[in-house]
Amino acid sequence: MTRKITIAGLALILFGGVVSPSVVHADSTGTTDNATAATTKANDSAETTIKIGSIGMPYTLISDKDGNTKYYTYPNAPTVLTATEINNDEFMNNILADYPNISIDQSSLQQILETPVTINLNESYLDYMYDAYGAAEGLTKDELRNGLVLQAYAVTWLASHVAQKSAGKITFDQLQSDYQNSLQKKLASSALTAGTLSMTDKMFADEPTYDAVGGIVYASLVGNSALSNYSDAKLMTLDSDASYRQMVSLLNKPMSDYYIKQADGTYQMSGLLLNGLQAYSFWFEEKPSIPDPTPTPTPSASQPVTVHYVDDQGNTLKPDKTLTGKLGDSYKTEPLDIDGYGLTNTTGDETGTFSNTAKSVTYTYAPVITSGGGNDTIAPEGTVIYATKKIGLYKHATFTNKARKQWYAKKARINRPMFVVTGYAKSKNGVKRYQVKDVNHHSKTNGKTGYVTANAKYTSRVYYATKHKTITVINPKGVNAYSKKTLTNKKAHYKQGQVLKVKKIVNQNLTTRFVLSNGRYITANKMLIQSGKQTMPKRVQTKTGLNRYSTANLTKQNKHVSAHAILKVTGWTYSNANNFSKSDTLRYQVAGGYITGNKQLVRVFK
């Protein structure tokens, strides 16, 4: 199964165009041919059969002078899924609900856990892929390597050069010349990238064609990838040659770097492997392997791994931890729970083995829980905000009609449009903006990027940042309570309208949870719960005859209700839940469907 995933990812990268998918779809037919699911060199004593016990979630590796950063494809999900979590239907359903377009389903992950893998952990990733794929396709090892590394080279070259052209740093003639002297020659050197070459030749053929498609390519490369975490100014400094070297380095690493042995004897499958070795560089330098004429003797003992916990300004939040062990022993680092802060970035290898070289891992945090006041209005990078009034999404920090990409109508609390803050900017007049990504998963706007106002009258954090004594469930579907703050191990379900007592508020990464008086954890999402006691109508009386419908949008009429009828209200909701081009209207849920909430048509009894 793991081999099928890897080969599928490789095929999609080489033949699917410049942008590879973030997660490949595994064959989950439920049957496995052991003769093909694992490497079958029984007489090779270097091979071993291993069992996968945990699976890293896919991520993109981006390097710069400060080190390596992992950008996870599904940032709200755990970075590693254990066997217990994968086999927990409710836990997996919660993850899949947040990411409806996720390509690997629960059964595929379970099959990975159930299928032992026979592999030579000492061979390189390139050798592994050549044995599994390249030889069968009639490729030489050099052809396979070239095809793999050109994916990263092409993405970074295009992203950096299109950003430079967009900012007016280079002319089209300079862009076209640079293309002909670099990317075009690189792509032409490999038959595997013929499709990409054909696309880029058309793109850079003349300036009108480039003007028509350049922005589309840029949006595809940046908006749908980890590169969306960087400003346009930073993307201009992407180094395609460094990306090429980094990919070569990753291809030469042993498979033991991608199947990492754990303390219990099982192996953890790397999320980088699951993402098809997707890696880009602003800077990369491989340490030279040429021995020093007077080398320093190799330490006989292993060197420590130092773990740092800092805020986004580099200030220490918790004392460093130092991990030690024997040469070759595995280590694993984990972020700490720090009151008032949520994890934003991780640099360094969180898992690995002790070696004769000292290593470090840095966990970077941003404030989440505040004491209120002015600080509560500024959302840290990586947190989620929503619009409380009608706002626009713009291409640039200076808002103009021409730069506007989308209007978002003013919506009721439970339907407000949500965005992840990916950065900050200022307009030409110095007005602060949020750089954001639309995360309304069930809307046509999902995935759009741009800039929105940072004015607290229009945008606010989705998650509560301070404790409230009581809260009311406002989500029409209710909320669940759990025994853990990761919202796992469900203990209870609370219906819309129930009032709950709160003991305290705690942070969970860049979100928060309320701890109820019974010790259980529930979400602190303002779209699902509201502070204080909110009174829900118990009954309504029709002032005139009206219709009952099967949907909150008042479609599919299923009954006519006569005037002065008294109806029991079981809940409330609003129309146009996922359509941000339209405002929404209150509806009452009654037995058999929905009716209008218009006060001119119904009288409310609380």
Q: What pLDDT is recorded for position 377?
A: 60
Which one-letter amino acid corresponds to residue 260? I
List the beta strands (DSSP E) in 73-180: 80-82, 117-119
pLDDT score of 12: 39
Task: Using alpha carbons only, give the angle 412, 416, 421 rounded to the nearest 5 degrees.
Answer: 155
Question: To the nearest whole number, what is the mean pLDDT of the chain?
Answer: 83
When pLDDT is cut at 50, 70 and 90, the band that residue 9 belongs to is very low
Given a cut of 70, is residue 272 above it in pLDDT?
yes
- Determine which of 90-99, 193-202, 424-433, 510-519 has the lowest per-residue pLDDT on average: 90-99
Q: Which fold has domain 470-531?
A: SH3 type barrels. (2.30.30)
The torsion region of residue 168 among left (phi > 0), alpha (psi -120 to 50) and beta comes to left
CA distance 497 to 471: 10
pLDDT of residue 469 exceeding 80: yes
For residue 31, is pLDDT > 60? no
- Using the predicted structure, report yes or no on whether residue 290 has a pLDDT greater than 60: no
Give me the helices (H) in 449-509, please: none
Give ranges for CATH 3.10.20.320 in the chain: 305-367
Among candidate residues 476, 464, 472, 478, the one with its CA nearest the CA of residue 385: 464
Q: Which pLDDT score, from 0 to 100, does residue 129 have? A: 85
Dist. CA 71–CA 225, nearest whole Å: 9
pLDDT digits (tens, 9 = 90+) for 431-448: 999 999 999 988 999 999
> Does the pLDDT of residue 396 top 90, yes or no?
yes
211-231 average pLDDT score = 81
What pLDDT is recorded for position 386?
96
The tokens of 595 are what? 């009716």
Contact predicate 239/284, CB 8 Å: yes
| pLDDT value of residue 339 | 78
Give 351 or 520, the one with higher predicted confidence: 520
Nearest residue to 369 via CA among 406, 338, 324? 338
Spatial distance between the Cα atoms of 574 and 598, rounded to a whole number of angstroms: 12
Q: Reply yes or no on domain 305-367 having CATH 3.10.20.320.
A: yes
Of 581, 578, 584, 583, nearest to 407 by C-alpha is 581
Q: Looking at residues 359-387, what average pLDDT do you find?
A: 75
Least confident of 167-171, 278-282, 296-300, 387-391: 296-300
3-state secondary structure of 595: strand
* Beta-bridge partners for 60: 71
CA distances from 280 to 63, 227, 254, 315, 348 (A): 7, 9, 20, 27, 16
Contact 342, 508 (CB under 8 A): yes
Q: Which of 460, 586, 476, 473 is nearest to 533 (CA)?
A: 473
Comparing 574 with 109, the larger pLDDT belongs to 574
Query: Quick check: helix, strand or coil at residue 119?
Result: strand
Rounded Cα–Cα distance for residues 23 and 40 (Å): 26
* Of the candidates 223, 247, 188, the residue with the CA atom closest to the CA atom of residue 13: 247
pLDDT confidence of residue 416: 96
pLDDT, mean of residues 359-367: 85
Q: Is the pLDDT of residue 7 over 60?
A: no
Strand partners, 280: 62
Residue 578 per-residue DSSP state:
T
Evaluate if residue 39 carries a pLDDT over 60.
no
Handedness of CA 82, 88, 94, 95 (dihedral sign): positive
Does domain 373-461 sit in CATH 3.30.1330.20? no
> Residue 300's pLDDT is what?
52
What percentage of the chain carries pLDDT values higher than 70? 88
Cα 537 to Cα 103, 568, 573, 603: the distances in Å are 42, 9, 12, 10
* Domain covering 539-605, topology: SH3 type barrels. (2.30.30)
**Positions of CATH 2.30.30.40 in the chain:** 373-461
Q: Which two tokens stand for residue 158?
A: 């295009």
Q: Does residue 78 carry a pLDDT above 90? A: no
Res 595 pLDDT > 70: yes
Predicted confidence band of residue 372 (pLDDT cuts 50, 70, 90): very low
Residue 111 clears pLDDT 80, i.e. is over it? yes
Provide the pLDDT confidence category of residue 494 given band limits of 50, 70 and 90.
very high
The average pLDDT across 547-571 equals 95
Buried-state track 143-167, b at ≥16 Cβ within 10 A, e below 16? bbbbbbbbbbbbbbbbbbbbbbbee
Nearest-5° Cα angle at 120, 119 to 126: 100
User: Which residue matches tokens 């840095």?
Assistant: 362
pLDDT in the model for residue 363: 87
The predicted structure's pLDDT at residue 289: 43
Q: Does residue 355 sit in helix, strand or coil?
A: coil
Which DSSP string corresponds to 267-313? EEEPHHHHTTS-EEESS--PPP-SPPSSPPPPPSSPPPEEEEEEETT
Q: What is the pLDDT of residue 193?
A: 82
Strand partners, 392: 407
CA–CA separation, 271 and 23 (whole Å):
10
Tokens for 177, please give them.
């010349």
Q: What is the pLDDT of residue 21?
A: 28
Residue 551: the pLDDT is 95
Q: What is the mean pLDDT of residues 483-508?
A: 91
Tens digit of pLDDT for each residue in 242-266?
899 899 999 999 999 999 988 888 9
